[in-house]
Amino acid sequence: MSASTQYKMSFAYLASIIIANIGFTYLPMIVLPGGYALAPMSFLVGFVFVLRDYAQQELKHWVLAIMAAGVAASYFLASPYVAAASAIAFAISELADWAVYTWTKRPLRQRVLISSAISTPIDSAVFMLILGFFSLPGLLIMTSSKMVGALLVWFWAGRK
């Protein structure tokens, strides 16, 4: 088995980090009723977390190296400010996720839901606060999009 097929989820995770940060940098904000601003990538970032869960299955704690590579690439391809905000938010939420994966010995299907329920609101809030566009609707949308991805994996994994 080649490295590209053996670590396909890790490669997908790396690409998703870079694409998300490029989107947060270059796509214009959506103005919501009430004057709140929301980044369009907020609807898609949930799948980054799901890919991270699968990459973590492939690489264990080495998944942090993929995250670092994604942040480094984002620094040059997107915005250093967005890359830094992403790294800080993700590092904080990754600690929560790491705790779930380390201390709960539940099946992957359950860990995806538990870790997402804990880490996604943390990541969303920290990221938006750093970039200066925090809003409760934005937090709910970002967290919901991340949880949709987790629920899809939970449902799909349960059918196997």
According to the model, what pLDDT value does residue 145 have?
82
Low-confidence ranges of the chain (pLDDT < 50): none
According to the model, what pLDDT value does residue 84 have?
95
According to the model, what pLDDT value does residue 152 have?
80
According to the model, what pLDDT value does residue 106 have?
83
Q: What DSSP string runs through 35-85?
A: S-EE-GGGGTTHHHHHHHHHHHHHHGGGHHHHHHHHHHHHHHHS-HHHHHH
Helix (H, G, I), strand (E, B) or coil at 109: helix
How many domains does the chain fold into?
A: 1
Range of the domain at 110: 3-158
According to the model, what pLDDT value does residue 91 have?
85
According to the model, what pLDDT value does residue 1 have?
60
Cβ burial of 89 (10 Å; 0-12, 13-18, 19+) is buried
If you average pLDDT over every residue of the chain, what do you get? 86
